Structure 1
Amino acid sequence: MRIHLGAAPGVGKTYAMLQEGRRLCEQGADVVIGLVEPHGRRLTAALAEGLETIPRHTLVHRGTAFTELDLDAVLARHPQVALVDELAHTNVPGSRNTKRWQDVEELLDAGIDVVTTLNIQHLESLNDVVRQITGVVQHETLPDEVARRADEIELVDLLPETLRRRLVHGDVYPPDRVEGALTHYFRLGNLTALRELALLWLADRVEEGLQRYRAEHGITAPWETRERIMVGLTGGPEGETLIRRAARITARTPGSELLALHIVPGDGLTLPAPGALAGQRALVESLGGSYHQTTGEDIPEALLRFAEAENVTQIVLGASRRGRFSLLLRAGVGRRTIHGSGPIDVHIVTHEQAAGAASPRLPRPPRGTGPARLWSAMAGAAVLLPLLTLVLIAVRDRVGLPGALMSYLLAVVVAAFVGGTYPALATAVAAGLLADFYFTAPLHSLKVTRPVDIVALAVFLTAAWLVGAAAGAAARRTRQALRATSEARALSRLAVAIARGQDLPALLEQVRENFALTSLSLLQREPGHTAEPRWYVVASTGERPPERPYEGDLEAPIDDDLTLAARGHGLSGDDQRILAACAAQIGIAHTQGRLTRHAAETDTLAAAEHTRASLLLTASHDLRAPLRAAEEALVRLRPTSDGETRGIATARSAVRRATQLLTDLDDLSRLHAGALDLYLRPVDLDEALTAALDDLGTGGHTLVLRLPEQPPYVLADAALLTRVLTALAADALRHSPPGAPPTLTAEARPGHLTIRITDGIDPDTERDGSRADARPDSLPLRLSRDLGEAMGGTLDHTTTGGAFSVTLTLPTAAHRIAPSPAGP
């Protein structure tokens, strides 16, 4: 795949793609045009002439015909090269794939080379940046990983001033769109920023290729193609001094990059002051650098390993804060880093907290044991015991057996301190044998004759065993405490980041650096795909993040539809457990973010609804007075002919209907605002229908009623039920033809009563579809539906042939109220 990348529309990407197609065709390649979008540009359309073009596939969506790439036709033709324009395009619903880049991937999988085009604003990682620059939201986006997989990416570059001249000459847009484009999207500042984004993204792509080449060829020495200055941070007060010094070095080297690295010790105990690293990280990012964090047992080794991986050319470290006596026992981080840095320059920067202010102290004792410490203790004992024996033999007459045993006990304590229980016991046994052989009578024999010597050796072995057991238990507890502290530290850092509202990519980057993983992705399953799950990337970080769970080396499921997939080395059981805990926290953060966005959208909709209700209420109040005045004026008119009488009657009917519409709007707004009072009680349907017929006037006499002899009482508000029946009957009367009255049918069913109102249109006749679709959205029906639901009922509508019917269902009272004896 070859991508022609542009900073903005109109730079000539499609033209360059067609030129490439012609060049390949002249060299004998089989080239076809799969899809080209000339956008009315004459030169582009002329360049496409002469190249074989695959006819497009036509799709109809919502009554409109669209054309898309005919993927099956291109696959059947199977050329060597296919030209496919606009890689980030979204296909019309009904196409095989949702995105055009998915069509391109099918072509590539079939062995067809593809030449395509892409604008920088369509890259997913730059979508927010482009929106901030241009103010335009790009709905068509392309995952960066798809673009990175391209074999070749060529930047089609054009100066912003030249592109604006092309717009003025009409080479990009029609004349009626030029002025708007120049004053909005194609402003000079916008184009300059987009061009810089394209150049920087492409430079990073070149850098990725360089890093891949170095990794494939095992090259670890830095190549100074680009200066990278890395500053090592401990979280101490000298951090700001080092960052500013490294920033000044970076500023004096054009094109250089600033990196900051903090190494968390594997034991998790050496931690900076709370908030110190957060402030230093903010300072690094404000100076244009990037902050990184990793774990490591040996600080210099971890520094150099990161430097080699990132092709760092210079390292900035602070002068050691340790005293001279401590440095004599062990070299500082700076000296050991210089010793192993090779061609990487190391700058040691002095600061106020450098050595001299602090009091001398001994090196920190070892933390915990392990295989390396066990064998180190055994080897140390094998060397120390013979040397100690030679010394004791020289002064045997003066120290005797008690002095020798005390000296050997010191060796046992050292072995226990370094290696734990088993080296201490082995050292004790060996020391006991040496004491017996060289310091108990008879000498040079393991035979013991004096009881006091037997007691001394027994006490010595017992003491050595107790010391070794205590040291082993202490070492185990130390390891457990260190592990627990490290786990708590990792989880607390993640929890603090979530509480501060950091976005998902930053949280994933923190987890990735904590576990030294290559890449990390938060994946979510698309709903509705149970047989063959489809996943999409919610957020990712690192190089080549997995896009499906099985593509990663590690997986930490969060729930049935959310999982964390990672690439990198294998983790221990404890690390996998902590990764699962981190995944759970990230899942909570993702859910919280989604709920926050939903709440914000809900607030926006609520505000819009409130504004709409306020406008409707204001309009209702303002229109009532003119309508009242119009009705009074119509009443005072004295018609002189039958035609004028009918006209005045029609006008008065229209005014009354408009007044009723305003009343309905007012009631609907009050109902949605919760300000409409409801009084639910058993209501007699006969009484409600009588009141509705009175409201309908003479027109209601044509309504056909089909009622049971004794309909049950319904639980409703009497006044509102009358309103609903009046509105539904009036709507049916308006839509029924003359001589075909609507029908109202009531039917009692267990627990509820259904009232169906059907207009008088013959069901076998054809009906205007547009009018049928408009009926459910009319104001009377909407008001009736909302009022019916407020009273605990439902309102549904059906269309049978040409007839439209509305069914109102209301709950019934438990018992029918008997009529009064004095009643009719």
Structure 2
Amino acid sequence: MRPAEENRPDPDELLSRIGGEGSKTRGKLKIFFGMAAGVGKTFEMLRDAQKAKSEGVDVWIGYLETHNRKETEAQAEGLSIIPRKRSKYKSVDLEEMDIDAILEKKPDLVLVDELAHTNVPGSRHPKRYQDVLEILDQGINVYSTLNVQHLESRAGIVEEISGAPVSERVPDSILEIADEVELIDLVPDDLIKRLKEGKVYPSDKVPQALHSFFKIPNLTALRELSLNFTSKLVDRELSRLEPTKDSKLSDKILVAVSSSSQAANLIRYAKRIAFGLKCPWAAVHVDNGEVLSSDQKNLLRENLGLARELGAEILNFSDRDPVFGILRAINRTKATHIVIGRSSKSKLSRILRGGSFVDKLSELPGDFQILLAPTEIVKEKPKFRFGFFTKGTRSKPIQYFFSFLALLGITSFNLLLNIFAGYWSIGLVYLFFIMFVALFAGRGPVLITASLSAIFWNFLFIPPKFTFYIEKVEDWMMFGTYFILALVLGALTTRLRDREEALQTGEEALSGLYRLSVALSKTHSLDEIASVAVETIGDTFQSSVLILLADEDSLLSRTPHPKSGFKPDLKESALAAWTFQNRKPSGKDTDTVPLSKGLYLPLLTPGGCFGVIGLDREHKDSLELEEETLLFSMLNQIALSLERIQLLGIRANAKMVEESEKFYSALFNSVSHDFRTPLTVIRASLDLLEAGNGKNEKEKFDLFSEIRIAYKKLDRLVGDLLDMSRLESGRLMLDLQWEDPLDLINETVRIAEYEKGEHILSVESDESMPLVRMDRRLMIQVLIHLLQNAFLHTEKNSVVLVRASVPKDHLLLTVEDNGPGIPVGQEDKIFEKFTKVSGSVQGTGLGLSICKGLVEAQGGKIWAENRQEGGARFLIRIPVLTFPPLEDAIV
């Protein structure tokens, strides 16, 4: 371990590091925006690039699509081109932009045409705009092009206008984060003229384009969309720079998202409203306990992914009634506008449910507006007409089989019971049986079993038997009541069980988080945190786990932690490194290399990224929404624990540095005077000796004595500093020998004679003193310090007593004086470094601290107390464990 001084960071290095971090800025994005292909976006981008190059900017073409337009190709002459990356997909050779080559080249400006392009499957990112975002994060400026039809919030409108599907889309946020958006406008007549001249598409494709997309009404509508969107971008920028009282920044849009196929259009409509009002927005999904099919789960995930991509805050709530779930979301987000879709329920269904969703929501108290989106109404399919009974069904064929088998069993029992009881009693038995089945089966088996039990009861027990005819009115009433009760009780019991399972799932998630937090709270090292993380995440998600931690230099370790069960190959390891560098998830089911084997997530806190967690998700289904939420919560807990360990280390180092600074400051303040005084005496005495002036031998002897005393003080001071350094570093070497305590005291008194001055030094000891194992040199030094301390704090002619005794199994050395004593409460504090009882007393304040260290190094103990008759007493106790073997008797 290096000394504290060597561990101290260089202030200049810190400032340069801070300056370096602050200087790393994000690249600037400029988008050339237009209404359709052929308006001149690429041409204008190249012209601006040529201008930038003439100004000394390092410009490279990352990807350019000229469509064989001569004027565009001419405009690109002289610009350096980064070669495209070749890849093969389904035996077809394709070319894509080489993002790694761009990042390695790191130019000042890179041109990336066709921002909405979809990359080849297996690329790092599915979309080119995601490549651009990564390039921007590395501080590289980007020029790019985009048509209004590719904006996610406008794509649906363009499809309605043109009748052509829009497959390549980008989120609106890509324009909102752009530093500059330049509108390339062209009137529709001029665009059609360019098209006919062959300046947009090849001549063979012109007739088809004129009769489909490139029509005057279509182009006019697209031009209006592009102008409208650009004007709103300008208004948004102005409101951000100069907010006024009429600003709508206090508004917030909330959109309800479900697994409906119309939810995507609802999300796009909410985005357009939020963009127009220049306000934030959020998307909420309310889990009402309904069990979704795999297709519905995928559709819900896509809808929430679309909302997240468009910049929405994602919220998840669990509530049996979606209306109250929406109300909780409104209260949480302080939303002012609620966007919902039109109901596809029939009038009868709305009456049975107590009104439509809009009616229920409008009856709730709150300061919000309901916006009904103009979405298409999709009529319910016939198979969902009995949604009350079939909703959430997850029954397997085995449940139907056992339910029917149990029904046959209870029917056999009822046939025997019919001998002793009437058919009404048998109806009650069937009713209890239906409730019992509902505890174990889903809605489907309960519905079938209830219907069959009513048929069996009618056919086998209600007279006339073995017919479906019921002759009595009261039997008809009983049969109808039974049928309804069987269905309702079965459905309600199943609903309660579903709710219980949902609560149990939530409780398991909370329990898992609680267990993780408790386990992490008991960790004290990075290895312990890694062990807890791998074990907990692996057990929870049934996946092998990889954990890579950052080192002291904030660089990701290339070697997985020994606790990791997932060992990635080179490609997967590079993906984990990308996650750490970009602070974004990557891998399976993400936007970065989604076809990979593992899922990689950064361990992020406000203090930075502390590592990467990887999960082996090969041949595994995508995580559910609840599982994603639980996983990110666990990662947050783990990251905070890693940050806690780091902060504890920083705190310990800071405390060490602080103690070191305090030590050095106190040391220099203390020794400066103690060094200066004897040096002054030596210098003055030498000056007097050199001057001569007829000094006699006695005067010379006195001057030499003063020099000798000053030298010994300096020697003792240097020795004290060296001893303290050895004690602090743990390098003190002991020379333990069997010593006679009385000889030790006598030698100490002899050495102290020159400093006692007019003090009276007295010695007492027991008559028979055993030999004690100790370091003679160190113990003499301890006694010398105690005697010097007594001389400093007592008057002239005071008696200082040194006593040695061996009570029981230890040697007790005592130094007493009749001075003022020790202030009450300072008995232990005087053994601390640089502690002085009186500020007027000379000394470094290290003597007693050195005594304590030297005594404790030999297994002894030293303490101080006041005498009843006045004065101070210092006591040293050295253990006497064994005695040395006696020498052989001399014959």
Larger RCO, structure (CA 8 Å, separation 6 or more): 2
* TM-score normalised to structure 2 length: 0.37
Q: Which has the larger radius of gyration?
A: 2
